[in-house]
Structure 1
Amino acid sequence: MHNKQFCLLHQFLNKAVSLLIVFIIVITLSGCSLPWNQKQISETTISATEDNADFTEYVNNLFADLLSADMVSLHAYVEHPKDFGINDYEITLGRYDLDNPDDTSDYTDIISTLKSFDRSTLSAKQQITLDELLMYMENELEYSDLYMFNTQLQTTTGIHVQLPLLFAEYTFAEKKDIDEYIELLCDVDGYFENMAAFEKLRADNGYFMEDTLADEVIESCKSFLETAGLEDGAMISTFNEKLASVDGLSSQDIADYKAKNVSAVNEHVIPGYQSLVNALTSLKGSNRYSGGLCNYPDGSRYFEYILSSTLGWSKSVDEYDKLVDSYLKKYMLKMQSLALKDSSILDKFDTFSFNMTDPVG
């Protein structure tokens, strides 16, 4: 597996998706069952009494590969990477593989390896892990051709909004953390340049966002730029506050780190955001499909992907539709029954509001 590329090599396998896989591995290896795919799991009748050592090793390596591909998540979820066999990782925010954007070899390699294990040699909890990973990876592979739909620049939750928050929450326990943080700051310009190149690829194929959405992203970036380099701005002040909590730093160390942070923000973060603004501005007007993603080619398939990957059930859209209808009918009947018993409920329904301090009470 290509460690540093895995999370961003395939545009669907972004940070959140990778963490979902990590969650699957961790929760199932702890002996817990996830709420989906219960039918497949319940049909398992033959299992080993002990864990399969080879399978455990493979899953542990997969865990390490996924986290080492995403430096921010690696730092957030693993305090000491070496404890998990993660000794070699690149300090980067990641990159799209623009030379091979439709390469699915990572998916097929994982699926092939998972299927090579004899289920009967796996313990019950390992079979759960196998089932969940296979279902997830096969779903990603099925929809991997829709990578053009993906963008990390959603107007309110995009990476341009999240990145300053991720940096603000980046914890400093030792000097190594600070050094790696500074390196990540220095990667922001290259990260956004690569992202802009991917957006150009999307634009060339008509998949770039509508101009109104692009304007919102651009304005958000400009808003960040207004305060990014200021002494009381989040990128500077939050960093300085976190330094004070790190044990073992001399006054000279603190002064040096403060200077390095200011330099990284001014020379890499601010130029990175400005280059993104320039790129998005130049791509305005390239969208070919107005009115939402449903009007794009394969737009309905993309929503199928979102549905299946979010809910994790092996159901068709029609089956989901019938399920929702059944729930609505069930609870409408229940509401009618309650209203017949006590008509004042209808008045309470119209005036009901949650208590802001105790919403359950």
Structure 2
Amino acid sequence: MRKFFLSYNILLTGYSFLFSFLLPWASFDNLTMELFRHELPRNTLNLHYTLAEPEAFGIKEASPSLGNMDEDARKEELSYLKKIQKRLARFSDKKLDEKQKLTADILNWWLEGQFQAEAYYYYQEPLGKTLGIQAQLPVLLAEFPFRTQEDIDTYLALLETLPAYFEQITAFEKEKSAQGLFMDDERLDDVLKQCRSLFPIGNDHFLATTFKERLEDCEFLSADQRIAYEVKNLRALDRYVRSAYEELCQVLETLRGTGRNAGGLYHTPEGLDYYEYLLKYSVGTELDGGRIHQLLEEQMESDYETVLYALSQGLSLLEAGDDTPCLELPSELLTELEDQIEKDFPKAGDISWQVKEVPESLADFL
């Protein structure tokens, strides 16, 4: 009996030692997975473009959403992220493997960026001409994948959320205006022109034609179901998408003239600080603006000297050299870039990619 207890105690001690050694790995992975499961479902577009089978990661889809710009939701999210950061700090002295240490460093860097961004919240511009929500959203909707019939229903439900989502954006822009940070009239005209180019909405609208094209690839639908979905889509485009964009235009027009700064961030109260923030958390460099300016001047001076030398040698800078590759097919160009990038970066390994032709109906938006 004593031998049994002795063996049991030795075994228990061994397991305790093993779990104390392995627990940091398991706990850290649980933390990162928890954050992943928290962040991704908050935006249905992000979720569907990232995961084909969310349930495989333990993610249950919530109600379709394009995100939330509500102030209360933002405060709640920051509170959650601060709790994540505190839990992350517990792993600072743990025996994580190299990959986990790198993940922990990157995650902590990202969290710090989220907290610092709060000071510049109204310096953000969700309605930029090229990468603004009003420009990107139609393209993302046009490419929304229909893998199952549930995906189609989710897509249509997502269209219904657009008016409420744009209301949050207009509330944000009104507050920007109140703080003297609204866009100038020239940029406003560009945004309005882009929004109004979506109208009118009919059978030949790109959000109607691309929807029909995706339905044709859905072998799980009958012909009658495809027709019914096309009707639902046209109704949703007119009732929700058109009305949302029209309301957005109307509200933005009321803010015309309130953005008097056409000189960029430099001429805003915290512009330089926000610029430094963008350098660190968008560009990913620790260099400050002054050092970058110096490097640019040095590079331009070097390039200028190179051009002068080339001209002195009788070289024509307007004619391509014999070694310039002549590539016509996109696949050839991408393959060439894969080879060229290895001169400056480690080989990425085998990565699958697919070249897709831009539909004619989308050509004006891409």
Q: TM-score range by the shorter chain?
A: 0.7 to 0.9
Which residue number in structure 2 is paired with residue 212 of structure 1? Answer: 186
Mind listing any 5+ residue stretches in structure 2 that lack a counterpart?
A: 1-20, 341-366
What amino acid is the match of 2:224? Q
Measured after TM superposition, the shift of residue 126 of structure 1 is 0.3
Which residue number in structure 1 is paired with residue 315 of structure 2? Answer: 347
Q: How does 1:285-324 map to 2 (within 5 A)?
A: 285-324=257-296
What amino acid is the match of 1:164? P
8 Å contact from structure 2 (residues 65, 161) kept in 1: yes
Which residue number in structure 2 is paired with residue 234 of structure 1? Answer: 206
For the pair 1:112 / 2:86, whether they are aligned, the reply is: yes
For the pair 1:357 / 2:327, whether they are aligned, the reply is: yes
Change (3 A) 1:128 1:323: farther
Mind listing any 5+ residue stretches in structure 1 that lack a counterpart?
A: 1-47
Partners of 2:56 and 2:46 in 1: how far apart?
Answer: 16
8 Å contact from structure 1 (residues 102, 147) kept in 2: no
For the pair 1:77 / 2:45, whether they are aligned, the reply is: no
Partners of 2:24 and 2:75 in 1: how far apart?
Answer: 36
CA RMSD of aligned residues (A): 2.8
SS in 1 for 2:164: helix
Which residue number in structure 1 is paired with residue 4 of structure 2? Answer: none
8 Å contact from structure 1 (residues 67, 74) kept in 2: yes
What amino acid is the match of 1:357? L
Partners of 1:296 and 1:329 in 2: how far apart?
Answer: 30
Partners of 1:357 and 1:256 in 2: how far apart?
Answer: 44
> Higher relative contact order by CA 8 Å / sep ≥ 6: 1 or 2?
1
8 Å contact from structure 2 (residues 202, 234) kept in 1: no
Q: TM-score, normalised by structure 2?
A: 0.76
Equivalences, count = 308
Give the alignment partner of residue 172 of structure 2, picking from 182, 198, 202.
198
Q: TM-score, normalised by structure 1?
A: 0.77
Measured after TM superposition, the shift of residue 86 of structure 1 is 0.7
Which residue number in structure 2 is paired with residue 137 of structure 1? Answer: 111
SS in 2 for 1:76: helix
Partners of 1:153 and 1:356 in 2: how far apart?
Answer: 38
Give the alignment partner of residue 65 of structure 1, picking from 29, 33, 38.
38
Partners of 1:51 and 1:325 in 2: how far apart?
Answer: 48
Q: Deviations over 1:46-83 (max 9, x none)?
A: xx889710000111111122211111011011000011
Partners of 1:185 and 1:56 in 2: how far apart?
Answer: 35
Larger radius of gyration: 2
Measured after TM superposition, the shift of residue 331 of structure 1 is 6.7
Moved more, 177-186 or 347-356: 347-356
Measured after TM superposition, the shift of residue 154 of structure 1 is 0.5
What amino acid is the match of 1:184? L
